[in-house]
Amino acid sequence: MGNTINNNNIALHIEDLSIAYTKDKYAVKGINADIYKNTITAIMGPSGCGKSTLLRAINRMHELYPEIKVTGNILMKDQNIFKINAMEVRQKIGMVFQRPNPFPSMSIYENVLAGYSLNGIKLKKEEKDRIVQEVLEDVGLWEEVKDTLHKKRTALSGGQQQRLCIARSIAMKPDILLLDEPTSALDPISTSKIEELLMKLKDKFTIVIVTHNMSQAARISEYSMFMYLGDLIEYDLTKKMFTNPNDKRTEQYLTGKFG
């Protein structure tokens, strides 16, 4: 990749990772990549290229579907995430989904703390209040919802819901935050709010985002991956990739020839 990388800067080391939905039909083919700490890495590519599949494997969401087979390793702080307890992995690697999915049976306050309460972690009242305020301020939702924190079924807009979901994830203080097309169901204003939020959050977390939207990748990410038909075609600094891609297919995708 040109620049030498210090090992301490690596948040995730992906090693020969392949993912198959059915036997011999690979959605992700032998990917090797390092994800760098406190950066935003964007994964791009046309529909069906395996980008979401790759992302979901990082916090072992694929295990919900037993037919999916994964080979290879993902190392986090020299620990293979496939060798430790999935629940532990998911507490360290948070995930935000395409469609906002706050828990409808819980209030905003309970949603933010869901990671704690569902994992049986007891907190004092002051500590809860502090986390809720801090996290909601981080996602820029505090002013909007501080009066309805304990009300159930409050009507939040899609963008607010998605920010609440991000709040729910970062409340657990994960090392890594995965986002699977988090703005594809949102309007432009909510989208730009989330983008600003992510740029701010990368100081605290390592962010990996799958996006359909090339300009979004260009706006917010330091590193970009381009995937095509399960292969990682190119992985480089976003600036470099958008100005001078190495692979012809990357160039074609970025210039809208396919995708």
Partner 1 sequence: MNKMKYRRYKDKAFLYLMFLITIIAITPLASIIFELVAKGFNQLNISFFTEVAPTTLDSMLAKSTGNPVKGGIANGIVGTLQIVGIASLMAIPLGVFVGIYLAENSNKKFSTLVSFSTDLLAGIPSIVYGIIAYAWIVIKITDGYSGFAGSVALSIMMLPLVIRSTEESIKMIPASLKEASLALGTSYRKTILRVILPSAMSGLFTGILLSISRVIGETAPLILTALGSQVINLDITKPTSAIPLLIWEFYNDPYLINMIWSSSLFLMLLVLIFNISAKQISKRWAIQ
In angstroms, rounded to a whole number, what is the distance separating the alpha carbons of residues 139 and 252?
Answer: 35
In angstroms, rounded to a whole number, what is the distance separating the alpha carbons of residues 149 and 113?
Answer: 12
168 makes contact with partner 1 (CB under 8 A): yes
Q: Using the rule CB under 8 A, which residue among 19, 95, 132, 136 binds partner 1?
A: 95
Start-end of H helices in the chain:
51-58, 86-92, 108-112, 114-118, 125-138, 142-145, 158-170, 188-201, 214-220, 238-243, 248-254
87 makes contact with partner 1 (CB under 8 A): yes
The distance of closest approach from Cβ of residue 194 to partner 1 in the complex, given in angstroms and rounded to an integer, is 17
Nearest to 254 by CA among 122, 240, 157: 240
Question: CA dist 179 to 98, 153, 213, Å?
Answer: 8, 24, 13
Q: Using the rule CB under 8 A, which residue among 1, 119, 127, 189 binds partner 1?
A: 119
In angstroms, rounded to a whole number, what is the distance separating the alpha carbons of residues 251 and 7?
Answer: 30
Question: CA dist 99 to 96, 166, 179, 231, Å?
Answer: 9, 12, 11, 26
90 makes contact with partner 1 (CB under 8 A): yes
Q: Using the rule CB under 8 A, which residue among 24, 25, 120, 147 binds partner 1?
A: 120
Span of 3-11, 102-110, 134-142, 205-213 interacting with partner 1 by CB under 8 A? 102-110
Taking the least distance from each CB to partner 1, the nearer of 32 and 101 is 101
115 makes contact with partner 1 (CB under 8 A): yes
Taking the least distance from each CB to partner 1, the nearer of 6 and 105 is 105
Taking a C-beta distance cutoff of 8 angstroms, is the pair 25, 50 a contact? no
- Count of residues that bind partner 1 according to CB under 8 A: 29
Question: CA dist 143 to 85, 146, 148, Å?
Answer: 37, 6, 10
Taking the least distance from each CB to partner 1, the nearer of 87 and 258 is 87
Span of 15-23, 163-171, 227-235, 251-259 interacting with partner 1 by CB under 8 A? 163-171
Q: Using the rule CB under 8 A, which residue among 169, 191, 206, 238 binds partner 1?
A: 169
Binding site for partner 1 (CB under 8 A): 59, 61, 64, 87-91, 94-95, 97, 99, 101-106, 114-115, 117-120, 153, 165, 168-169, 172
